[in-house]
Amino acid sequence: MEDEVRQACIRYVADLFASEDEILADLRREMLEKDFPRIHVTAEEGRLLQVLLRSIGASKVVELGTLGGYSAIWMGRALPADGRLVTVEREGSRAELARAYVARAGLSDRVVIVVGEAKQVLEQLGDAGPYDAVFIDADKENYPSYLSWCGENVRRGGLVIADNAFRSGRVLDSASDDPGVRGIREFNRRLAGDSRYTSIVVPTRDGLAIAVVN
Ligand code: DHB
Ligand code: MG
């Protein structure tokens, strides 16, 4: 299929299945105005996250890398009323915007934003596990260690989901010494080769890795 046709099909899916409400659209606009890096998930990826969480009846979820809370709002809306998403962000200004929008979305009871380094916050989160799902979208060099944490803290039948499995195609460059690229390559290799998971990468914007814990 031509790239152009493929793009049009993706837009068609987004319009049909993943239309944003005013809150999500405003948040996206505000992240642009505030010069946040343009790295949030797309609306159709947000919808895919919802489908995945709903498919396993997820109620306890962890997200690494909140940014402005765009994916957290999509995921929070897929949780039951007593569900809980803990989302970790290292930059306070980003967490602040996320908090404002989570509140506006009426999700403050369900979505908890923790400011800190994911590696350190995870040490504390282990006690409240096991979790139904983890969405990894933070610093790429630490993906392998986040996967190790998931191995200990995600329940059987639960999901490990990770953004940026392609790293803009740089994952194909086996000679790359970029720590982020190396982290993603190691993550993908481990996910694919570990018999504890049934896993795949879906070719979204930058590749979404999805693994079920066997
Ligand atoms: C980057 C991070 C992301 O999570 C993403 O989706 C795209 C790019 C980055 O840090 O470059
Ligand atoms: Mg990402």
Task: Judge if the beta carbon of residue 188 lies within 6 A of ligand 1.
Answer: no
Could you tell me if residue 36 is left (phi over 0), alpha (psi between -120 and 50 degrees) or otherwise beta?
Answer: beta
What digits encode the pLDDT tens for the residues 174-206?
999 999 999 999 999 999 999 999 999 999 999
Mean pLDDT to the nearest integer, 9-31: 98
- Ligand that lies nearest to the alpha carbon of residue 163, given by its number in the listed order: 2
What digits encode the pLDDT tens for the residues 24-60?
999 999 999 999 999 999 999 999 999 999 999 999 9
Q: What is the pTM of this model?
A: 0.98
Q: Whose CA is nearest to atom 3 of ligand 1?
A: 39
Q: Whose CA is nearest to atom 5 of ligand 1?
A: 39
Q: Whose CA is nearest to atom 6 of ligand 1?
A: 39
pLDDT of residue 167: 98
Phi and psi at 142, nearest 5°, equal -95, 5
Residue 164 CA to ligand 1 center (angstroms) comes to: 7
What digits encode the pLDDT tens for the residues 66-114?
999 999 999 999 999 999 999 999 999 999 999 999 999 999 999 999 9
- Helix (H) or strand (E) segment spanning residue 58: none
Q: Do the beta carbons of residue 128 and residue 61 sit within 8 Å?
A: no
Q: Whose CA is nearest to atom 9 of ligand 1?
A: 39
Task: Judge if the beta carbon of residue 206 lies within 6 A of ligand 1.
Answer: yes
**pLDDT band (50, 70, 90) for residue 142:** very high
**pLDDT band (50, 70, 90) for residue 120:** very high
Identify which of 31, 23, 27, 162 has the alpha carbon closest to the alpha carbon of residue 91: 31
Residue 87 CA to ligand 2 center (angstroms) comes to: 14
Provide the CA 92 distance to its chain's centre, in angstroms.
Answer: 19
pLDDT of residue 70: 98
Q: Do the beta carbons of residue 159 and residue 210 sit within 8 Å?
A: yes
Q: Which atom of ligand 1 is nearest to the CA of 206?
A: 6
Identity of residue 13: V
pLDDT of residue 1: 79
Q: Do the beta carbons of residue 85 and residue 61 sit within 8 Å?
A: yes
Residue 59 CA to ligand 2 center (angstroms) comes to: 22
